[in-house]
């Protein structure tokens, strides 16, 4: 499958590497497609990765991954172009983190809204699925947690088939599956786990920790 | 130790039973100390449990547990009396759940405030520690989760010694320990896990699930 990954930070690169490692053709969308560092990186990735603009990537991608910083999410959707996202699964990895008061961050959305919902509204014909936002990027692909052989990703979105597609991708990445917390309004609570994740990371001095849903 | 548990719902009763089972003397505070059902329940608990008003309980307790519904939290603090809480560790188990739009719930505080902070403000000389609010009451004491021998409770509060006291209690209850996510403002994010916990419970058809922090 052709996959557009919008965002050329660590989160976007890690996902691009993951999709490429599973045999997909990746078009990494960025505001700076001429960046020589990015071209160098793309050349080192195992598998097919091309670099282009947000619109290039979104046009070519059969599935689109939004992996930019929270404050860049809506501009990236705008730059990608609504028409290029129409009818496609859009995996939303973004977090509305507010660092204006330093660390640890807060959220720039409240609990009566979410960035996931804003993105769904900005691209109404896309099938937005919130995923990957609750874990650190080192765990996106081939996740590894001591004593936890079955890791599940928390996801939310309005389209059941799109969530199935994302769950299939998660399984191919080494996750046991997903836990579906409902419509895209569930993004409110997935996003709200992230300031807590940062605090827990500070307490434990790690960035590779993962929420596990334990049950008896 | 004499422990006041304010609240006579399932959450309060479960904690009262837990403290009594560990040899503490419990005074259960309630708006309805004459309730015959409560007296009957107290008689069945192994260990010492007495029933009284919020003020009775808070006055006698060397440690106080606030275990009422979120919308009853501040009235309960008021009824308990600031002076009766002064200098004491106050374990805040409450959640600001808003069911006004049905299930699943939202929060009646935003993400720039929390019920934990409101309680700390209402009882400024108490040492408020948020704890137990992120897990279901069936897991408070002797927690049991398949394949998870070391369960840690997420806690927050301004007073380091109070958090140590609470961690000691948690260990006596069968928890491996606590993860300290910072000052009482951390309650914002501990409380925000609860609407997600409800959604996950709906997806998995359980109320005994627990957040586990997996790490490599």
Task: Give the pTM.
Answer: 0.97
- Which residues partner with B130 through β-bridges? B92, B156
CA distance A22 to A13: 14
Give A40-103 as a DSSP string. HHHHHSSSEEEEE-HHHHHHH-SEEEE-S-GGGHHHHHHHH-HHHHTTSEEEE----EE-TT-S
Name the residue of chain B whose CA is nearest to A144's CA. B216
Q: Which parts of chain A have pLDDT scores under 70?
A: none
Count of residues making up chain B: 216
- Which residues partner with A28 through β-bridges? A5, A51
User: What per-residue confidence (pLDDT) applies to A5?
Assistant: 98
pLDDT, mean of residues B108-118 = 93
Contacts B179 to A, Cβ<8 Å: 200, 203-204
Q: Is B182 on the interface with A (CB under 8 A)?
A: yes
What distances in angstroms separate CA B152 from CA A33, A199, A200, one per listed residue?
45, 15, 11
pLDDT, mean of residues B10-18 = 98
Residue B84: strand, helix, or coil: helix
What distances in angstroms separate CA A206 from CA A47, A210, B154, one per listed residue?
30, 10, 16
User: What per-residue confidence (pLDDT) applies to B76?
Assistant: 98
User: What per-residue confidence (pLDDT) applies to B216?
Assistant: 85
Residue with tokens 């088939």: A161
Q: Is A102 on the interface with B (CB under 8 A)?
A: no
Q: Which helix (H) or strand (E) holds B155?
A: strand B152-157
CA distance B106 to chain A (A): 7
Name the residue of chain A whose CA is nearest to B111's CA. A110
ipTM above 0.85, yes or no: yes
Helix axes A115-122, A73-80, angle to 10 degrees: 20
Q: Is B104 on the interface with A (CB under 8 A)?
A: yes
Q: Is A142 on the interface with B (CB under 8 A)?
A: no
Q: Which one, of A216, A211, A148, A212, lies nearest residue B142 by Cα? A: A216
CA distance A152 to A212: 7
Contacts A179 to B, Cβ<8 Å: 200, 203-204
User: What per-residue confidence (pLDDT) applies to A216?
Assistant: 85
Mean pLDDT of chain B: 97
- Write the pLDDT tens digit of every residue in B24-80: 999 999 999 999 999 999 999 999 999 999 999 999 999 999 999 999 999 999 999
Residue B112 pLDDT grade (very low, low, confident, very high; cuts 50, 70, 90): confident
User: What per-residue confidence (pLDDT) applies to A111?
Assistant: 79
How many CB atoms sit inside 10 A of residue B21's CB? 16
- Write the pLDDT tens digit of every residue in A101-151: 999 999 999 878 999 999 999 999 999 999 999 999 999 999 999 999 999
CA distance A97 to chain B (A): 12
pLDDT greater than 90 at residue B2 = yes
Size of interface A-B (CB pairs under 8 A): 137
User: What per-residue confidence (pLDDT) applies to A110?
Assistant: 80
pLDDT, mean of residues B164-180 = 98
Residue with tokens 């989760």: B145
Q: Which CATH number fits domain B2-204: 3.40.630.30, 3.40.50.150, 1.10.3720.10, 3.40.50.720?
A: 3.40.50.720
Q: Which one, of A8, A43, A1, A51, lies nearest residue A23 by Cα? A: A1
Residue with tokens 């959305």: A109
Sign of CA dihedral B161, B162, B164, B169: positive
* Angle, alpha carbons A11-A139-A127 (nearest 5°): 60
Q: Which one, of A167, A138, A172, lies nearest residue A154 by Cα? A: A167
A213–B214: do the CB atoms touch at under 8 Å? Answer: no
pLDDT greater than 90 at residue B4 = yes
Contacts A112 to B, Cβ<8 Å: 106, 110
């Amino acid at each position: 499958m052709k996959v557009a990954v919008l965002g050329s930070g660590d989160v976007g690169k890690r996902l691009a590497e993951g999709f490429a490692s599973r045999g997909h053709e990746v078009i990494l969308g960025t505001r700076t497609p001429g960046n020589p560092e990015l071209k160098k990186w793309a050349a080192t990735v195992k598998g097919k990765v091309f670099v282009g603009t947000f619109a290039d990537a979104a046009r070519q991608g059969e599935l689109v991954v939004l992996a930019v910083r929270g404050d860049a999410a809506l501009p990236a959707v705008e730059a990608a172009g609504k028409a290029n996202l129409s009818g496609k699964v859009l995996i939303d990895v973004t977090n509305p983190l507010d660092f204006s008061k330093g660390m640890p961050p807060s959220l720039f959305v409240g609990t009566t809204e979410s960035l996931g919902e804003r993105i769904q509204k900005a691209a109404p014909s896309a099938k937005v699925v919130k995923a990957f936002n609750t874990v650190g990027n080192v765990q996106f692909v081939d996740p590894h947690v001591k004593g936890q052989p079955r890791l599940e990703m928390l996801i939310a979105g309005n389209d059941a088939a799109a969530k199935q597609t994302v769950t299939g991708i998660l399984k191919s990445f080494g996750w046991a599956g997903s836990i579906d917390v409902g419509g895209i309004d569930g993004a409110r609570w997935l996003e709200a786990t992230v300031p807590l994740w940062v605090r827990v990371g500070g307490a434990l001095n790690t960035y590779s920790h993962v929420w596990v849903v334990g049950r008896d």
